[in-house]
Amino acid sequence: MSDLVPFLMFQKRDAAEAMAFYTSLLPGDSVLSEQRYGPEGPGPEGTIVMAEFTVARQRVRCSDSHVKHGFDFTPSLSLFVTCDSQAELKRLYDALVDGGGALMPLDDYGFGPFGWVNDRYGVSWQLNAPAAG
C-alpha cells in the first residue's frame, strides 16, 4: 500500500525539540517512533536519524540532517490546520508565532478567521477556523 507522510528535515539539530513542541499543541498527539544517532554517527550522537509523530492527528516524519544543505524550510509548503474553534485558532497561532514570525496576522481574509506563521524552527503553518455563526 502506498503512503504519503509529510517529512521535515531539520538542519540545526532541533528535530527532537520541535517534535516535542508540536506534539504538545493538540490533545492526543504523540511521538510514534524515534531512532537516534549513537556514538558511531554519522550524525551527532543523540540527534534524530528518523522519527514519526502526530500533529492534528496527521502523521509527520522528521530527521536531523548531518549534511548541511543550501536550502531550508520555505513557506511555499506549509502545514494547514483547520481548528475546531476561533479560540483554538488563537491559541495555536500564539504558540506557533512565538519565536517565529507572522506571514499573515490573524484576521478574516474573506474566508473566515485565518493566520499564517513561520514557527521558531522555520516550519510554515496555515491556520483557519470556522467563521463565528
Domain at 100, CATH number = 3.30.720.110
Q: How far is CA 24 from the centre of its chain?
A: 11
Of the CA atoms within 13 Å of residue 18, those in its CB half-sphere come to: 27
Residue 71 lies in a domain: no
Number of H helices, E strands in the chain: 2, 8
Query: Is 27 contained in some domain?
Result: yes
Residues 63-95: b if buried by 16+ CB within 10 A, e if exposed:
bbbeeeeeeebebeebbebebeebebbbebbeb
Question: Domain tally for the chain?
Answer: 2
Q: Considering the entire predicted model, what is its pTM?
A: 0.92
Residue 132 has a pLDDT of 73
Give the pLDDT confidence score for residue 1 in this predicted structure.
Answer: 72
Q: What is the mean pLDDT of each run of 10 residues along the chain (133 residues)?
A: 93 97 96 97 96 96 96 94 95 98 95 95 96 71
Q: Are residues 31 and 60 in the same domain?
A: yes
What does residue 118 show for φ and ψ, rounded to 5 degrees? -100, 125
Q: State residue 133's pLDDT score.
A: 59
Half-sphere exposure of 42 (CA within 13 A, CB side): 5
Cell of 22: 508540536
Give the model's pLDDT for residue 114: 97
Q: Is residue 73 part of a domain?
A: no
**Residue 128 to residue 113: CA distance in whole angstroms:** 6
Range of the domain at 94: 79-128
CA separation for the pair 96, 101 (Å, rounded): 9
On whether the CB atoms of residues 8 and 65 are closer than 8 A, the answer is: no
In single-letter form, the type of residue at position 46 comes to: G
